[in-house]
Amino acid sequence: MNPEASDSWEAYDRPELRRGRLIIDGDRASAEFAIDGIHCGGCALRIERTLAAIAGVDSVSVNGATHRMRVSWDLAREPLSHLLRAVADLGYTPHLLSDATAGSADRDSQERRTALKRLAVAGIGMAQVMSFAFALYAGVAYGIEPNIERYLRLVSLLVSIPVVFYSSAPFFRSAYLDVRQRRPGMDVPVALAIGLAFAASTFNTLRGQGGVYFDSVTMFAFFLLLGRYIELQTRHRRGNLSDALARLIPDTVHRVGDRGVETVPRIEVRVGDRLRALPGAPIAADGRIVAGKTTVDESLLTGESMPLPRKQGDSVIGGSLNLGNPVDIEVTALGSNTVLAHVVRLLARAQAERPRLGKVADKAAGWFVAATLILAVGTAAFWLHFDPARAFAATLAVLVVTCPCALSLATPVAVAAATARLARNGLLITHPDTVEALASVRRCVFDKTGTLTVGAPQLRCATASGSVPLERCLALAAALEQHSEHPLAAAFSATAPLVVAENVRSVRGRGIEGEVNGRRYRIGRPDFVQELAPGYAAIAGGEGGDFFLGDESGTLAAFQVDDSLRPSAVLAIQQLRALNVEVEIASGDGPVPVGRVAKRLGVAAWRARLTPAAKMTHIRSLNHAHGGVMMIGDGINDAPVLGAARISVAMSAGSALAQVSADSVLMSVDLTIIPEAVRMARRTVQVIRQNLAWAAIYNLLAVPLAATAILPPWGAAIGMSASSIIVVLNACRLDRSARACDKSSLGVSSGPVSIPASASST
Amino acid sequence: MNILFVLIPLGIGMAAVSVWAFFWAVDNGQFDDLETPATRVLDDETERPRD
């Protein structure tokens, strides 16, 4: 944590910033925070332990899954800033959430809790009723005392009551809404079957004759609720866009006023104010530098891989990271006028254009439901005319047996199994349609920076001219670059400086000069190095991004600094090709680094210097021409692009925003998960097709049997459950099948590939 | 078979108790975070101070 930046927490003690965010009850306050930097449960524990040790804190809980923290404490003893600083000192970034954001998290958690309770009641109820039903069915076969039979029916009724009235309430509510809007949904026959079967069973139980269907009712409710619960869990993972965005812009800023620098809430800042941007912190607003010079990391916004120099008069973008020195900026745009806000609007538009695949399924389900209802009415009419005694049983059998259970379970269960499996392997699916879309991927577009590459400059290649050994050149370069603020210098930091450079002088934008053991050396741009030894020939090679080391006798070595490839990139691309997926690279970076990466990966199709808008157009035209475009990227500039693709994958190292907007998030750095996901998705779609085929055959066979009253309702319920179980088991194969790609074949699992510096004489 | 008139209510009673216990657990947030507690056992640092 930057010591200069830490005093910004104090501003949180001002009432303007606290308004609407703290719940204050006397001296007690409670608040909800989002915490950046939590990787695992262990991080959550560390934070909990630290805060719990603070005297004024009553309770603290950190959720490792949602990255939320809830604290309640004594405001009189500990100001809010102390808590925030305690968390920041551990290396995490706390964000105080507003009521609205905290509220949506609360709603999610409430919904989840209710669903879990409904599921538990249905599950326990089902287990009980099944055991009674087993006795009753055995009684039919081997005989049973009438009073015991009556008793078992009564207790079945008793246990079914909470399952029907508590657990199944959502089906009735949703069916009621469907009917009111005159649009038959999946829940109409569900509610009808549960309601009718329960009513008839209750009636028959009370009058002491006729069939009871409590087992069918409870089993039915449980399986449906299970499917809904799995769906709900996936939905909640999608997160909140505005929340993630808000985190990029700091809450407090350092305003330079007449009385020096003061820390104020960002909402007080007006256009024209002068703000001080400290190194290591994000810049709070769009502005122009009025004093100082620095380097900024705009990779989140522009995709530029290298930190960019910014001097007086240059403009900076709010949300970008100040890497170099403290600078003063004059605010030119705030709020909805900023570049960041513009990117977000672009993203919103791209998302609005996403095709609604779900509509097709809804339509099909609607027809299925309508057909079922018509069939049930027809069956009832037929039997009422010919044999009224069998009318109810036959109608109920039709409703139960044809319930779209097998159909409606088939897809969600298969998708849920695939989603669970992919999540375990490191790919988090955030949109329910994603698995289906993944199966149709025909072309895969990668962003470069932070996706195919690690996102940190690395020494790629070093060539010595021959007069001085390469090791010595590297040591000299490391010694000189140690004094450099230039972002590329970080590439040399891995090499321990064995020698010490003296009288070091840095020439901005050109290079560094220094003395080692009395000899003058220069490192930097070729012309700068040449000046030291005029008349000597330059070393061969002059690709962009290269720089040189030389002394008074001429050039000694050439270095290529580049972002290193992720170790899994080569294998991932080979595997994608094996799956008949074409691979392409689209980057905002310059043609030299992009071309270099493309060559190493053997990718012929690549595009460089694409603006976010150009990328978006490109992706959209690809989608039109070929369909099934998958975009894998990282960073905010990718967010609209990710939205334009059929499928999007965001790297978890990227910004929170890209994570939220993408269909899926790659949690590990292993890119081979992507071809595996495609393979998995294709298998999933295959299983879905098998399940649908099974459901079709089953329904075609069972419906006539039910309608002709050959199949009694209990038989229908068994058939329906058996069919559902077959469907579920088939889907579970997806989860169980071994991972096709053997990870050990990769050799290295993480970290950048180390490329040996090759020595050659020229 | 009269034992059924004792055992089944007993079974239902136990089911009711387990539903109640589950509701209590859910309301206490026991199912809100299924990740952190798994690593809690690995935490071998000193106990939290209780004050």
Whether residue A505 sits in one domain with residue A586? no
pLDDT at A669: 65
| Residue A68, domain member (yes or no) | yes
**% of chain A exceeding 70 in pLDDT:** 71
A651 vs A514, higher pLDDT? A514
Q: Sorting pLDDT into bands at 50, 70 and 90, what band is A232?
A: low
Q: What would the mean pLDDT of A190-209 be, rounded to a whole number? A: 86
Alpha carbons A268 and A38: distance in angstroms, whole number: 30
Same domain, A503 and A588: no
Inter-chain residue contact B39 with A155, CB threshold 8 Å: no
8 Å CB contact of B42 and A44:
no
pLDDT of A617 above 80: yes
Q: Are residues A274 and A334 in the same domain?
A: yes
Band of the pLDDT at A116, cuts 50, 70, 90? very high
Is A179 exposed, middle or buried, given 0-12, 13-18 or 19+ CB atoms closer than 10 A? middle
End-to-end Cα spacing for chain A: 47
Least confident range from A157-166, A174-183, A364-373, A387-396: namely A364-373
Q: Does the distance separating the beta carbons of B51 and A117 come in below 8 Å?
A: no
Q: Structure pTM?
A: 0.51
**ipTM entry:** 0.85
Residue of A nearest to B34 (CA): A65
A105 within a domain of the structure (yes/no): no
Structure confidence at residue A494 as a pLDDT band (50, 70, 90): low
**Cβ–Cβ below 8 Å for B38 and A41:** yes
| Residue A747 pLDDT | 32
Q: Which residues of B touch A45 (CB under 8 A)?
A: 36, 39-40, 43
Is residue A49 within 8 angstroms of chain B, CB to CB?
A: yes
A520 pLDDT tier (thresholds 50, 70, 90): confident
CATH number at residue A30: 3.30.70.100
A645-682 pLDDT tens trace = 778 787 754 444 444 556 666 766 678 888 988 998 89
Q: Which residue has the higher pLDDT, A595 or A187?
A: A595
Whether A755 is covered by a domain: the verdict is no
Contacts of A127 in chain B (CB under 8 A): 15
What the block records as the tokens of A562 is 């580049």
Determine the residue of chain B that is closest to A127 in CA distance.
B15
Range of the domain at A591: 415-453+566-684
Q: Which of A58-62, A247-251, A349-353, A488-492 is predicted most confidently?
A: A58-62
Q: How confident is the model at residue A533 (pLDDT cuts 50, 70, 90)?
A: confident
Contact A738/B at CB under 8 A? no
Chain-chain contact of B36 with A155 (C-beta, under 8 angstroms): no
Instruction: Compute the distance between CA of residue A261 and CA of residue A4 in angstroms, rounded to an integer.
Output: 12
More confident residue, A415 or B45: A415
CA B41 to chain A, closest CA, distance in angstroms equals 10
Last residue of a domain, one of A40, A72, A97: A97
* CB environment A231-261: b (16+ within 10 A), e (fewer): beebebbbbbbebbbbbbbbbbbbbbeeeeb
Among candidate residues A97, A122, A152, the one where a domain is terminated: A97
Max mean pLDDT range (A510-514, A667-671, A724-728): A510-514
Given B26, B37, B42, which is nearest A117 (Cβ)? B26
Please name the residue of chain A whose CA is at the shortest distance from the CA of residue B11: A128
Structural domain total, chain A:
5
CATH of the domain at A482: 3.40.1110.10
pLDDT above 90: residue A506: no
Catalytic residue among A108, A447, A562, A634: A447
Q: A581 with A436, same domain?
A: yes
Query: Highest mean pLDDT: which of A203-207, A449-453, A470-474, B20-24?
Result: B20-24
Note whether A637 and A676 are same-domain residues.
yes
Nearest CB partner across the interface for B49, out of A53, A121, A145: A53
Find the closest chain B residue to A106 by CA distance. Answer: B32
Q: Tell me A647's DSSP state.
A: E
CATH number of the structural domain spanning residue A622 = 3.40.50.1000
Nearest to A593 by CA among A295, A298, A304: A304
| Residue at A561 is within a domain | no
> Does a structural domain hold residue A330?
yes
Q: Are residues A115 and A224 in the same domain?
A: yes
Task: Give the residues across from A631 on adjacent strands.
Answer: A445, A648
In a domain? residue A729: yes
For residue A694, CA distances in Å to A148, A587, A720, A725 come to 39, 45, 12, 12
Asked whether residue A579 falls in the same domain as residue A533, the answer is: no
Mark whether A572 and A448 lie in a shared domain: yes
Which residue in B9, B19, B35 is closest to A124 by CB distance?
A: B19
pLDDT category at B32 given cuts 50, 70, 90 is: confident
Cβ of B31 within 8 Å of Cβ of A116? The answer is yes
Q: Provide the shortest C-alpha distance from residue A672 to chain B (in Å).
A: 25
Q: Which of A34-48, A182-196, A300-314, A518-532 has the lowest mean pLDDT?
A: A300-314
Residues of chain B whose beta carbon is less than 8 angstroms from a beta carbon of chain A are 1, 4-5, 8-9, 11-12, 15, 18-19, 22-23, 26-27, 29, 31-40, 42-43, 45, 48-49, 51
Residues A573 and A665 in one domain: yes
Query: Residue B41's closest chain A neighbor by CA?
Result: A42
Q: Which of A42, A117, A148 sits opposite B4 (nearest CB)?
A: A148
- pLDDT band of residue A753 (cuts 50, 70, 90) is very low
| Confidence (pLDDT) at A1 | 38
CB atoms within 10 A of CB A96: 19
Which residues, at least 6 apart from A663, have a Cβ–Cβ distance to it below 8 Å?
A: A429, A430, A431, A433, A434, A437, A642, A647, A648, A649
DSSP A268-286: G--TT-EEEEPTTSB--SE
What's the pLDDT band for A354 if we cut at 50, 70, 90? very low
- Between the ranges A341-345, A431-435, A457-461, A475-479, where is the mean pLDDT highest? A475-479
Residues A366 and A219 in one domain: yes
Write out chain A residues lying below 8 Å of B5, CB-based: 151
pLDDT digits (tens, 9 = 90+) for A80-94: 888 888 888 887 878
Asked if residue A34 is part of any domain, the answer here is yes
CB-based contact, A233 to chain B, within 8 Å: no
Question: What number is the average pLDDT over the span A441-466?
Answer: 76
Q: Are A120 and B22 within 8 A, CB to CB?
A: yes
pLDDT at A229 over 60: yes
Same domain, A728 and A588: no
Q: Are residues A165 and A232 in the same domain?
A: yes
Catalytic (active site) residue A89:
no
Show the tokens assigned to A649.
């994958």
Higher pLDDT, A556 or A584: A584
CA distance A668 to chain B (A): 17
Please report whether residue A750 resides in a domain. Answer: no
> Residue A5's pLDDT band (boundaries 50, 70, 90)?
very low
* Window from A53-67, A122-136, A347-361, A458-472 with minimum mean pLDDT: A347-361
Residues in chain B with CB shorter than 8 Å from the CB of A124 are: 15, 18-19
Query: Do A128 and B15 count as a contact with CB atoms less than 8 A apart?
Result: yes
CATH of the domain at A278: 2.70.150.10
Residue B31 and residue A121: Cβ atoms within 8 Å? no
In sequence order, which residues have a C-beta less than 8 Å from that of residue A746 and are 6 or more positions away? A567, A568, A571, A670, A672
Give strand pairing partners of A296: A308, A322
Greater model confidence, A269 or B1: A269
A596 has a pLDDT exceeding 90 = no
Q: Using CB atoms, which residue from B1, B39, B40 is nearest to A148?
A: B1
